[in-house]
Structures are given as C-alpha cells and as structure tokens.
Amino acid sequence: MSDEIVLQTRALTKVYRDFWGRQKVRALKALDLEVYRGEVFGLLGPNGSGKTTTIKLLLGLLFPTEGEALVFGKPASDVGKNERLGYLPEESYLYRFLTAEETLDFYGRLFDMSPTVRNERVDSLIKLVGLERARKRQLQEYSKGMTRRIGLAQALINDPELILLDEPTSGLDPIGTREMKDMILRLKDEGKTIVMCSHLLADVQDVCDRIAILHQGELKELGRVDELLTVADVTQIRARNLTTDCQNEIRDVIARHHGELLAMDNPTTTLEELFLTIVRDSEARPGRRAGVR
C-alpha cells in the first residue's frame, strides 16, 4: 500500500429521482473516501445502504447529484480511465448467447487488444477461473457459480490496476467463496488495488485492509480492519497445557511464568458484532456517525 490515491470521492451524493424529477431515494449522502494504491478496500453495509450506487458512481454509470468521484485523478465520466480498471457487477450482466471464449474475446477486443495478446489472455483467464471444460458452452447454460467466475475473468481481461467488485461472493458456495477470497488476496499480492462491497462480514474481514461501513447512504465508520476490531481495554490470554490446578491459579501461574504462554494480546470482537452495533446505533440515532470505539 502506498500513498498514491487511486480513487477518491468528495461529498459524493446521489438522489434517485422518478420520471417527473421528484425525489425518490437519497441513496448516498456526502460520501468522502480515499482509496490508496495496493490496498483492498471494503464497502460494507446492509442491503440498500448505497454500496452499489457508490460503485456505479465511481464507474460513471450514474452521474452524481452533488460532489464528485475521481478515478486515477480523472472524473468518473472519463472513458479513458476504463483502460486501467476492471468491474465485476452485482450480477453477471453478460451476453447469454456467447460462449465463455467468445465473451472474453469480445471484451478483449473492446480494449483494442491485438489478436495474439487477446488469445493469450483468454486462455490464461479461462484457466485461472477454472472454466476450461466449459469454454465452448453458451453462458445461458452456466450455473450461478460458473457465471460468477466468467464475470471475474471478464473483469480481469485487461490486467487492470484497479478492480471494483460488487458482492464478489454472492451466490457462491463456501468453496467458491474461499476461492474468490484467495483470488482477491492473490491480486492484492500482484499489487492491484481492489474495492469490493459486500454485506457478508466474514468475507470483508478476511480480505480487506480497510473498510467503510455504510448505512442508509451515510458513512458510519472508516478505518483499518485490524484497528477497528481492536478492543483496547481488554487483555486476552490464550494458554495451553494447563492442569486444573493451574487453571484455578491462572493469574498466579502467569505472574510466576509457570505455564507456556502462547499469546497475550488485545482480543478482537468479530466484525459481525461491530457491524450489528453500528446498525442498531444508527437506527436509534440516525444521521450521526457511530461512536462505538
């Protein structure tokens, strides 16, 4: 992770209006975010909290009502930024009458790749997502998991620097979920910047360096996952090989260094708990930033 900002929002606000221009939903309220090169950034929030809206604004699929979204320092409406990013949508929005191969070939062409580069990329990506045996089948025959994987391959076709993943593990079984998370970590190791949004807490906890928690379009929490999850005034002791006596005298034992001390550090709560507190807190006092810490 470096100091270079790849993605930035300034007071980003989105109001959905109906056909007559009347206000329907305030989906996002004055969001300020910065994402640095090389980190995995998680957008966390319950359904309808504005995660997808944020991603769409970053991609220029939606226009902000107020504020602005910058990607690589350029406004989100600039097409040029797309050269360097990949996007996996919430659901697979791919042409169902194309095969896996044709799909990747098509998107490769949209990056103006030469045929040799394209074929190479298509082959390696199909291998990467494990669809070798289904490469000549139309996407309409694919299962949800396979569709998700071809969706990911599609997002990686240009070897992007910045990857936006909208609910990457939705619809995947535990194994698929695991594979997806490993993939994200691998991409991170390759130096890519990843922004993912999810309502699945475990996923976010496992892979994200930093997270932002959104609720009803408002930013509730922002910070490093490890810091956020630290409870400062509690000490946790994990020990092994303790007899019943020892357990009874555990404080003495520790004080006198009789047992084998495996760990003595600050315990963490689960992300789940933090998340739920924030949501509850937000419901009780809307419009305020949560004060859990």
Ligand X SMILES: Nc1ncnc2c1ncn2[C@@H]1O[C@H](COP(=O)(O)OP(=O)(O)O)[C@@H](O)[C@H]1O
Residues that bind other proteins (CB under 8 A): 56, 59-63, 77-80, 82-83, 85, 87, 89, 91, 93-98, 102, 106-107, 109-112, 154, 158
- Given the complex with other proteins, which of 80 and 287 has the nearer CB atom? 80
Shortest separation between residue 17's beta carbon and ligand X, angstroms: 8
- Out of 8, 9, 52, 154, the only residue in the binding site for Mg ion (CB under 5 A) is 52
What residues have CB less than 8 Å from 124, skipping those under 6 apart?
Answer: none
The partner in contact with residue 27, picked from other proteins, Mg ion, ligand X, none with C-beta cut-offs of 5 to 8 angstroms by kind, is ligand X
Shortest separation between residue 137's beta carbon and other proteins, angstroms: 15
Q: Round to whole Å and give the CA distance between 186 and 182.
A: 6
Contact 205, 271 (CB under 8 A): yes
- Out of 1, 5, 15, 25, the only residue in the binding site for ligand X (CB under 6 A) is 25
Rounded to 5 degrees, φ, ψ at 12 are -70, 125
Shortest separation between residue 238's beta carbon and ligand X, angstroms: 36
- Given the complex with ligand X, which of 52 and 158 has the nearer CB atom? 52
Alpha helical stretches, state H, the chain: 51-59, 100-110, 115-128, 144-155, 174-189, 201-207, 225-228, 244-248, 250-256, 271-284
- Given the complex with ligand X, which of 205 and 216 has the nearer CB atom? 216
Print burial letters for 3-29: b (CB count within 10 Å at least 16), e (below 16).
eeebbbbeebbbeeeeeeeeeeeebbb
Which residues within the stretch 36-95 sit at the binding site for ligand X (CB under 6 A)? 45, 47-53
Q: Round to whole Å and give the CA distance between 187 and 48.
A: 28
- Given the complex with ligand X, which of 99 and 198 has the nearer CB atom? 198
Q: Is 177 in the site for ligand X (CB under 6 A)?
A: no
Q: Token digits for 79? A: 């097409």
- Given the complex with ligand X, which of 129 and 197 has the nearer CB atom? 197
Long-range contacts of 22-30 (CB under 8 A, 24+ apart): 26/217, 27/53, 27/217, 28/53, 28/54, 28/57, 28/217, 29/217, 29/218, 30/66, 30/67
- Terminal alpha carbon distance of the chain: 25
Q: Is 215 in the site for ligand X (CB under 6 A)?
A: no
Q: Is 16 in the site for ligand X (CB under 6 A)?
A: yes
The partner in contact with residue 36, picked from other proteins, ligand X, Mg ion, none with C-beta cut-offs of 5 to 8 angstroms by kind, is none
Shortest separation between residue 5's beta carbon and ligand X, angstroms: 23
Contact residues toward ligand X (CB under 6 A) are 16, 24-25, 27, 45, 47-53
Contact residues toward Mg ion (CB under 5 A) are 52
